[in-house]
Amino acid sequence: MDPTPTDPTGIPPELVSFLGQPGGRSVIVKGGAGTGKTTLGLELLEKLGESGRSFYLSTRVSDEALLRQFPWLKTVESRNRIYDAGKIFLETIAEREREPAAPVSPAVRERLNQARDLLRTMGEEATRPRTVDRTQLNALLQRNRMPELEHLYDRIERVLPEKALLVVDSLEGVTHKYALEMEEMVMALQKDLAENSNTNVVMILEKPEAGGIEYLVDGLISLSREEVDERRIRHLRLEKLRATAIPRSRYAVTLAGGRFRALGLLPRPEPTEMAPHPWQPIPDSRTHFSTGIPDFDTLLGGGFRRGSYNGFEIDVNVSTDDYYRLFAPMFLNFLSQDRGILGVLSGGESAESLKDLLARFIPPGTFDSRVRITDYFAAEPKAPYILPMLRAGREDAQRALQNAERAVRGDRQPQPYIEYTGFDTLEYLQGDQLAIKTLFMGVERTSIMGDVGLGLLKPGLSSTAEIVNMMDTYFRVVSIDNTPCLYGVRPRTMLYALAVDPEAGAPHVRLIPLV
């Protein structure tokens, strides 16, 4: 499955806004091993940096190692942004030694500082210097030569007054190499480059805690990882972005394909914003029905097996809109092929909302003629697609269900249909034992007729274990950092984010692997 991001950059908009403000900004990225710090640094260079104005200073990863791990860096433009410390060192010592700069007298330095302060009060000119401030660096050079940093300052100065982007990977590597304290290295990059030289500086820390240096920088980002039901997930947390609003502080992250992508960046699609063009059905095979989601079909080996019953357990923090992102393509793929749906909706769903969601993508009248929703609280048919059952006796209910099945299957050339059941509704109305019996009959009927069953399970059902045992496939839908995600229990799969297809738009969906 192609891990296509859900927005143009895959970088949280808060971070994009923070680094896009006038003047330089500094940010520390911290996290344990394997959380994606280097990948984030490279992604920032690729997506936010400009060619010739972005630099990657690495003391621990060579060009060759980077290209093995991140093959997308092989493009000329991306490769030019990689600035390996070993190469810098060789380039620097090969150059003729420059004459040391003449010392600046205290009086001259004071006048320079006053001029800088005056420009700062005048606004934008303060953010567009033409020389790199070397005050902090020169103090450090009194103890050690640091050819990498000296040469890097020169390179940044050549692009001024345009803004530069520098990624330092890692702080520990630089400070250890030159026997510096972490605080004085951060202070030099902050004061010289971020504050006074129009440079965004991203400093990668190889540990999950900043150790008290976070007050020196403008921003702080932490990366972490954990397991959800023995499946790995990574998180990004925006802990501090000075002078930047943080409406959303935490994101689920994937490193699929060697790229860093925060998930769920596009706003939830409103019905009026959905793609207006008709749904183009994905063909079924002789043995399987397409789910309407190509990635899901691949995951299932072709889609839902004909005659199968498939269960979906919905976590408590997953909204109806979230899991309809998964079900809408399934429904549309059936309806667009003149096949029907017979459903018992779950709590929180409504037939009217379902029609609003689907009808715009299928021929007029299709929903009314090929969908039947059983409503146990309605006494009269409020719409052609509503099957009222409140006053129906046993025989009347049986007859009504048979008529509904004929409607969704079609009279002239009977077609398979989706039997969609919210088991929380059945358990509430019938009790757990009768709900289990109803499922057993549904599984048998679906298998014999070659239809497909979709069962929805909500938290707290006493019949969940028995229901799951009768399912051919069983998936869980969870919300991770406000992103709806799916994983298979039967068959066992990794975690996938349910993302709106960025090219086709809603209701088309992609499964983004969380790796």
CATH fold of 13-95+105-262 reads: Rossmann fold (3.40.50)
When mean pLDDT is compared across 300-314, 411-425, 427-441, 453-467, the lowest value belongs to 427-441
d(CA 61, CA 169): 8
* Confidence check: pLDDT of 464 > 90: no
- Asked whether the predicted pLDDT for residue 93 surpasses 50, the reply is no
Outline which parts of the chain fall under CATH 3.40.50.300.
13-95+105-262, 271-513
Least confident of 45-59, 131-145, 269-283: 269-283
Kindly state the DSSP code that residue 191 receives in the 8-state scheme: I
Q: What percent of the chain has pLDDT over 70?
A: 82
Across 291-426, the runs of DSSP E, i.e. the strands, are: 304-305, 309-314, 340-344, 371-375, 386-388, 417-422
Q: Are 367 and 340 in contact, with CB atoms under 8 Å apart?
A: no
pLDDT surpasses 80 at 144: yes
Identify any residues that bridge with 371 across adjacent strands, giving them in sequence order. 341
Stretch 113-120: mean pLDDT, rounded?
53
pLDDT band at 157 (very low <50, low <70, confident <90, very high): very high
> For the CA atoms of the chain, what is the radius of gyration?
30
Contact status, residue 65 vs residue 254, Cβ threshold 8 Å: no
CA torsion, ordered 435, 437, 443, 449, to nearest 10 deg: -110
pLDDT at 417 over 90: yes
Q: What is the mean pLDDT of the chain?
A: 83
pLDDT for 410 equals 84
Asked if the model's pLDDT at residue 269 lies above 50, the reply is no
**What does the pLDDT look like over 306-364, one tens digit per residue?**
999 999 999 999 999 999 999 999 999 999 999 999 999 998 899 999 999 999 999 99
Measured distance CA(408)–CA(272) in Å, rounded: 27
Q: Which two tokens stand for residue 279?
A: 């749904």
Q: What's the pLDDT tens digit per position in 187-213?
A: 999 999 999 999 999 999 988 887 888
Q: Answer yes or no: CATH 3.40.50.300 is held by domain 271-513.
A: yes
CB 476 within 8 A of CB 487: yes
Query: Which is higher by pLDDT, 299 or 7?
Result: 299
Give the pLDDT confidence score for residue 267 in this predicted structure.
Answer: 52
User: CA-to-CA distance for 118 and 115, rounded, in angstroms?
Assistant: 5
pLDDT band at 52 (very low <50, low <70, confident <90, very high): confident
Residue 473, pLDDT > 80, answer: yes
Mean pLDDT of 458-484: 90
Q: Mapped to the 3 state alphabet, what secondary structure does 432-459 carry?
A: HHHHHHHHHHHHHHHHHHCCEEEEEECC
Token pair listed for 32: 């344990």
Helices (H), 269-409: 294-299, 320-335, 351-358, 366-370, 394-409
Asked if the model's pLDDT at residue 248 lies above 80, the reply is: yes
What residues does 283 pair with on adjacent strands? none
User: How far is residue 477's CA from residue 473's CA, in Å, rounded to a whole number?
Assistant: 13
pLDDT greater than 70 at residue 116: no
Is 81's pLDDT higher than 80?
Answer: no
